[in-house]
Copies of this chain bind each other. A is one copy, B any other.
Amino acid sequence: MAIKEGLRPGGRSARVQESIHSAVRDLLQEQERSTLTVPQIAARAGVTPSTIYRRWGDLSALLADVALARMRPDSEPANTGTLRGDVLAWAEQYLDEMSSQPGRNMLRDVQSSTLPIYCATIIGGQLQAILDRYPDQPKPSVDRLINLVAAPTVFRILFSEAPLEVGELHRLIEIALSQ
B168 near A147: Cβ-Cβ < 8 Å: yes
Shortest Cβ distance from A157 into B: residue: B116
What are the residues of chain B within 8 A of A164 when measuring CB–CB? 147
What are the residues of chain B within 8 A of A119 when measuring CB–CB? 159-160
B120 near A147: Cβ-Cβ < 8 Å: no
Docked complex Cα distance between A132 and B87 (Å): 35
Interface of A is mostly: helix
* A58 nearest CB across to chain B (Å): 13
Q: Which of A13-21, A35-43, A44-52, A148-156 contacts B (4 or more CB under 8 A)?
A: A148-156
Given pairs A116-B158, A147-B156, A154-B155, 17 additional interface contacts (CB within 8 A): A111-B159, A119-B160, A120-B155, A120-B156, A120-B159, A143-B168, A147-B148, A147-B151, A147-B155, A147-B168, A148-B175, A150-B155, A151-B156, A152-B152, A154-B158, A158-B158, A175-B175
* A87 nearest CB across to chain B (Å): 16
